[in-house]
Structure 1
Amino acid sequence: MTSSTVASGRPDRPAQPNLVFRRLRGKRSPAEFAAAVRRAAREIGERVSCDARYIGRVESGEIRCPNYAYERVFLHMFPGRTLTDLGFAPRSSVRGRGARTGGWTRGPGDPHDPNQPHHPHPTYRPHDNHEESDVLRRAFMTGGATVAAASLSPLGLALDAAAAQRPVRRAGASDAGALEETVRRIRLLDDRHGADGLYRRAAAPLRAAYALLDAGAARQTTTDRLAAGAGELALSVGWLAHDSGRFADARSHYAEALATARTAGDTALEAHAFCNTAFLARDAGRPREAVRAAQAAQRVARSLGSDRLLALLALREAGGWAGLGDGAACAQALARARTLHERGPCDADPEWMSFYGDAELEGLEAQCWSALGAWRRAARHALRAAGAQDPHFTRNTALYCAELADDLARDGRPDEAAAAGGRVLGLLAEVQSSRVHTMLAGTARVLLPHRRAPGVAEFLDRYAALRRTG
C-alpha cells in the first residue's frame, strides 16, 4: 500500500537536524561513517546502499525515521539504544508517510532516502499549519486513534454524513496532508490489530478523499498529492475489506485505486493497485487473474527501481501459479523472488512495503507450497516466517503462526500444530482478522480426530471457548 508523503503547509520550514546522530559519527567523515554502516549491515546479513549523502540527510533531519533494514543496522552498531536514543522520531509518528517527496518527478524517485522515494512533495508536520480546513478537521483529524488492549476503540476517522455530502471548496495543502495522515493511521493500526475493527470506520474518510479530489486544487502538486492520497486510501480501505473477508468490496476499492492511478499517470500507485488485485484474486479463487495482475504489476514496476517491490510481485505471481496447480511455474517465480529479495532493500522501496522483509518472503512461500499440498515444505517456511517477524506486525505474526499450525496439522503432526495454534489464540486479544480466524477454523477441523494427542484437546477447548465468546 504505497503511502504519500504528508506535505507541509509551510514547505520553507527547515527540518530539525539530528544532532545526536551527528555526535555519534564523531570525527569520521560522512563517507567513512557510511562505510562503517555498510560493514555493520554485512555483519548481520543486511544490505543497505548507504553513502555520504544518506548520512547527510539523516543528520539534516530529512530522514526522520529509517526503514527497517537501516533500523536493524543502527541498533546493531549502537547496542542498547533505541531509535529515539539515536535522534530519530518514533516509527509510529511516521508510518506510511514517506513514499513521495521533494524534488523528483514520477518514476524511480530519490535513490538516497528510504523513507521518501517518489514524488515532489515537501515533508508535512501535522501541527505546522494551524489554518486547517473544516474538511480536514471533520474528515480526518477528529478524535484520537486510541487502541484498547483487547479491541479497537472508536477511531478519529469518522465523518458525519451531512459534511460528506456538502460541496467542498477547492482543496489545499492542508487537505492533502490530512488525507495522507489518515492513510498513515489506518496502516499503523492494521499492522497491529488486523482489519475487522477498522473497515467500516474507514469508508467515510474515503468518500471525503474523493470529494476533495473532485473539488480540485489551485496547484498541480496539490492535485497530484490528492490523487495519490485518494488512491492509496482506496487501497488501504480495500485491504481492510480483503483481510476481513469482504472480497467484493475489496475488488471495488482496488479497481477504484487503479482507475485513479491511470487517470493521474501515477506509476507507483498503479503497481501497488495491481499488486493488491493479484493478492485478492488468489484469495478469492481466481488464480489465473492473480497471475495476470501480478505480471502486469511487474511490467509497471520495472521503472521504479525497487528490487524488493519486484520480489513481492514475483511472490504474488507464484501464488497464482500455485492456485493453478502449476508447481514448475510457481517454483520459477519463487526463485526469481528470492534472487530479487537477496539484492537487499534500497532507497527506492516504497514505504507501504514496510511490512515486507524476510518474514513475508517466507510466509508467502509457505502459502504457495501449502496450496500445492507440500505440507512439510510449507511448514518449514511458515516456521521461519513466524521466527523472523518484527514484533510490531502483530497481525502478521498471528497469520504466520496460523499458517504453521495448519501445515503441521495437515502434515500429520497434531501436537506441534496444537502448540502453534495456541500461540495464535494468545494473539487474538490484539488481532481482529477474519483471515486468521478462517485458517484456525480449518486447523481445528483437521485436529478433531486427534484430540488424544498431546496439547490438542487443550487447543480445541480454547478455540471452542473463543468462538462462543466471539
Structure 2
Amino acid sequence: MTSSMVTSSHSPIPPRPNLVFRQLRGQRSPGEFAAAVRRAAREIGEGVSCDARYVGRVEAGEIRCPNYAYERVFLHMFPGRTLADLGFAPRSSVRGRRGRAAEGPPAAPAAPPASVTDETRGAREPYETGNPPAPRGARDPQDPYQPYDPYQIHERHEIHEESDVLRRAFMTGGGATVAAASLGPLGPAHEAAAAGRPLRRVGASETQALEEAVRRIRLLDDRHGADGLYRRAAAPLRAAYALLDAGATRQSTADRLHSGAGELAISVGWLAHDSGRFDDARSHYAEALATARMTDDDALEAHAFCNTAFLARDAGRPREAVRAAQAAQRVARSLGSPRLMSLLALREAGGWAGLADRAGCEQALARAQAYFERGSSEADPEWMSFFGEAELEALEAQCWSTLGDWQRAARHARRAAHLQDPHFTRNIALYTAELADDLARGGRPDESAAAGMRVLDLLGEVQSSRIQAMLAGTARVLRPHRRASGVSGFLERHASSPRTA
C-alpha cells in the first residue's frame, strides 16, 4: 500500500504565490516575521516553531492552508480576518490530500528540494500540548518529498485538513461505515472485517492510520463530548482488531499495532464511560488491559488501570477504584513520568473519598501534588496531554465534593474552570458543571444558577451525558430556591434544553 506522502507529491495544483500574506509581512524580514509569529503563539498558549523558511513557503504558495495551530496564531495576529483574507485557500479545497492510499509497493520518493523545511515542527493541537517538540529530522506530515521512516514512532503529529471530514462523519455521518472509511487505511480493514475477507499482513501505513485514529477521537471528544462519537467509534475499533488478526510484517510494527489497538480500545471505552454506558466501558478497558498484558506493555497497562479506576469510582465501586489506581501506580513507577504518577494518585484519592476515608484521600492528594510539582517530562504519555493544573484542580474538587466539603470543592472547581485551555470545550463545561453543583449544595443558589447558565451555553457544542446528569442534579437541588436571583431563569432554560438521545 502506497504511503499518502507519496501520492500527494504529485499534486495537480501548482503553487500560487500568496501575495496577501507577503503584503501583511510588510517591511519585516522573514526571520523577524517568524519571531512575531512565535510571540503571538505564546500569547495564546500555542506551540509553533515558525522560522523564515516556513514564512517563505507560505508566501510561495507551497502551504495553501495552514494547520490548525498556525491558523489560530494567524487569526490572533490579524483579528477580524479569515483565512481567505490572509490569502489562503479554503480548507475544503486542500482537504483529503493525505489519507488516500493505493495498492501496490511504495514508490520511491523524489529528492527533496532545498527550500523544503519542517513546517509543523512544534505545532501542536490541543491534545498534544504536553509533548516535547519534534526531534531534528522528524518527518513533516505535509512534506511530500521527505521519506517515510516506519521506525520513527515518536514523530510529531497533528490534525490536518481532513479532520473536518472526520468530525462530520462522527457527528452527523450516516453510520459506522462512514466513520471508518474516513480514517484512511482503516477503512479497507473495516470493510474486509465486515465482509469476512482475510486481510494481508499489516505494514507501517496501517499502523500509522490506527495511531492517528486514536488522536482524532481524543481531539473530537475534547471539543464535542462523547455522546455523538461512541457508536461511530466502534467501527474503527473493529478494524483495529481485524488488523491485529492479520498480523504484521515486522515485530516493531506488530508492537505498535498492539499498542495502538489497546489505546483505541481505551478511547472508545472512555466514550462509553462519558456517555453513561458503564458496562460497555468496562468491557473496552478490560480488552485494553488484556492486550497490554499479552505484549508486556507497561504504559498501556497503566493507562487501562487508570481508566478502570475512574470508571469504578463513577460506578459506585470505590474500593475497586482504589485497588485499580494502586495497581496502575505499581506498573507506572518504571515509566519515569511524575505527571502520570500524579494522575494515578488522584484516581486513588477519588476512591478513598468514595469510601469516606478522609485521611486516605488527603494522603493521596498530597502525593498527587508532590508528583505534579516535579513538572512534565519526555516520559509523559501522549494521552495525558489533557492533564494540567486545571485537571488537577478539578479532580481534587471532585474528592472534596464526594466528602461533602462543598466550600473547598467549589474553590477548586472554580480554579479548574478558570485555568482550562479554551480549546478543551468539554472540560470547561464539565468543570463549570461541577462548580454549579458544589455551589448549589453549599447554599449559594444564585452563584450556582449563574454557573449553570454558562454550562447551558456550552451544551450546543458539547454532547456529554455526564455533564447533563450533573446539571440535572444541580437543578433538583435548586428547585426549592426558585426565588433566589437567577435560579428561576436557569431552571426554566434547563427544563427546555434538549437532552442527548
Q: Does TM, scored on the shorter chain, surpass 0.5?
A: yes
State the partner residue of 1:459. Answer: 490
Unaligned runs of 5+ residues in structure 1 are 1-6, 14-19, 27-36, 47-54, 61-70, 100-112, 131-140
- Using CA pairs below 8 Å that are at least 6 residues apart, which structure has the higher relative contact order? 1
State the partner residue of 1:146. Answer: 167
Distance 2:290 2:223 in 1: 29
| 2:211 paired with 1:192 | no
Distance 1:339 1:95 in 2: 24
| 2:394 paired with 1:363 | yes
Question: How many Å apart are 1:347 and its aligned residue?
Answer: 1.8
SS class of match (1:232) = helix
| 2:124 paired with 1:91 | yes
Question: How many Å apart are 1:320 and its aligned residue?
Answer: 0.4
Instruction: Rate the CA distance shift 1:123–1:242 in 2: closer, same or farther, 3 A.
Output: farther
Distance 1:360 1:452 in 2: 34
Distance 1:428 1:25 in 2: 39
Aligned pair partner of 1:114 in 132, 141, 150: 132
SS class of match (1:145) = helix
State the partner residue of 1:286. Answer: 317
Distance 1:469 1:280 in 2: 21
State the partner residue of 1:210. Answer: 241
Letter in 1 for 2:368: A
Contact 1:195–1:240 under 8 Å retained in 2: yes
Q: Deviations over 1:303-337 (max 9, x none)?
A: 11111111000000000000000000000100111
Q: Deviations over 1:41-77 (max 9, x none)?
A: 9xx9x9xxxxxxxx9xxx99xxxxxxxxxx9xxx9xx
Aligned pair partner of 1:276 in 276, 294, 307: 307
SS class of match (1:408) = helix
Q: Deviations over 1:96-135 (max 9, x none)?
A: 6x99xxxxxxxxxxxxx72679xxxx758388699xxxxx
Question: How many Å apart are 1:410 and its aligned residue?
Answer: 0.2
Aligned pair partner of 1:156 in 179, 190, 208: 179
Contact 1:403–1:439 under 8 Å retained in 2: yes
Aligned pair partner of 2:141 in 120, 125, 135: 125
Question: How many Å apart are 1:145 and its aligned residue?
Answer: 1.3
Distance 2:336 2:495 in 1: 48
Question: How many Å apart are 1:157 and its aligned residue?
Answer: 2.8
Distance 2:211 2:301 in 1: 17
Aligned pair partner of 2:437 in 373, 398, 406: 406
SS class of match (2:167) = coil
State the partner residue of 1:313. Answer: 344
Instruction: Rate the CA distance shift 1:142–1:171 in 2: closer, same or farther, 3 A.
Output: farther
Letter in 1 for 2:301: E
| 2:475 paired with 1:444 | yes
State the partner residue of 2:184. Answer: none
Instruction: Rate the CA distance shift 1:207–1:126 in 2: closer, same or farther, 3 A.
Output: farther
SS class of match (2:287) = helix
Letter in 1 for 2:263: E
Q: How does 1:20-169 map to 2 (within 5 A)?
A: 23=31, 88=120, 90-92=123-125, 95=127, 114=132, 125=141, 144-147=165-168, 152-154=171-173, 156-158=179-181, 163-164=193-194, 165-169=196-200
Question: How many Å apart are 1:146 and its aligned residue?
Answer: 3.3
Instruction: Rate the CA distance shift 1:469–1:398 in 2: closer, same or farther, 3 A.
Output: closer
Contact 2:313–2:321 under 8 Å retained in 1: yes
What is the RMSD of the two structures over their aligned residues, measured on CA atoms? 4.0
Distance 1:157 1:126 in 2: 22
Question: How many Å apart are 1:342 and its aligned residue?
Answer: 1.2
Aligned pair partner of 2:454 in 423, 434, 439: 423
Contact 1:147–1:153 under 8 Å retained in 2: yes
Unaligned runs of 5+ residues in structure 2 are 10-27, 55-68, 84-117, 149-161, 182-186
Contact 1:309–1:353 under 8 Å retained in 2: yes
Instruction: Rate the CA distance shift 1:212–1:320 in 2: closer, same or farther, 3 A.
Output: same
State the partner residue of 1:258. Answer: 289
Q: Deviations over 1:428-452 (max 9, x none)?
A: 0000000000000000000000001
State the partner residue of 2:412. Answer: 381
Give the TM-score normalised by structure 2. 0.69
Equivalent pairs counted in the alignment come to 390
Instruction: Rate the CA distance shift 1:95–1:371 in 2: closer, same or farther, 3 A.
Output: closer
Question: How many Å apart are 1:142 and its aligned residue?
Answer: 11
Q: Which moved more, 1:240-249 or 1:299-308?
A: 299-308
Question: How many Å apart are 1:23 and its aligned residue?
Answer: 5.0
Distance 1:429 1:467 in 2: 9
Letter in 1 for 2:434: E
SS class of match (1:349) = coil
SS class of match (1:91) = coil
Give the TM-score normalised by structure 1. 0.73
Contact 1:8–1:173 under 8 Å retained in 2: no
Letter in 2 for 1:144: V
State the partner residue of 2:275. Answer: 244
Distance 2:243 2:143 in 1: 20
Instruction: Rate the CA distance shift 1:319–1:167 in 2: closer, same or farther, 3 A.
Output: same
Q: Deviations over 1:20-59 (max 9, x none)?
A: 9x95799xxxxxxxxxx9xxx9xx9x9xxxxxxxx9xxx9
Aligned pair partner of 2:365 in 334, 358, 371: 334
Distance 1:239 1:378 in 2: 24
Distance 1:8 1:375 in 2: 53
Distance 2:244 2:193 in 1: 15
State the partner residue of 1:134. Answer: none
Distance 1:255 1:401 in 2: 31
Letter in 2 for 1:239: W
Distance 2:394 2:164 in 1: 36
Distance 1:427 1:305 in 2: 37
SS class of match (2:351) = helix
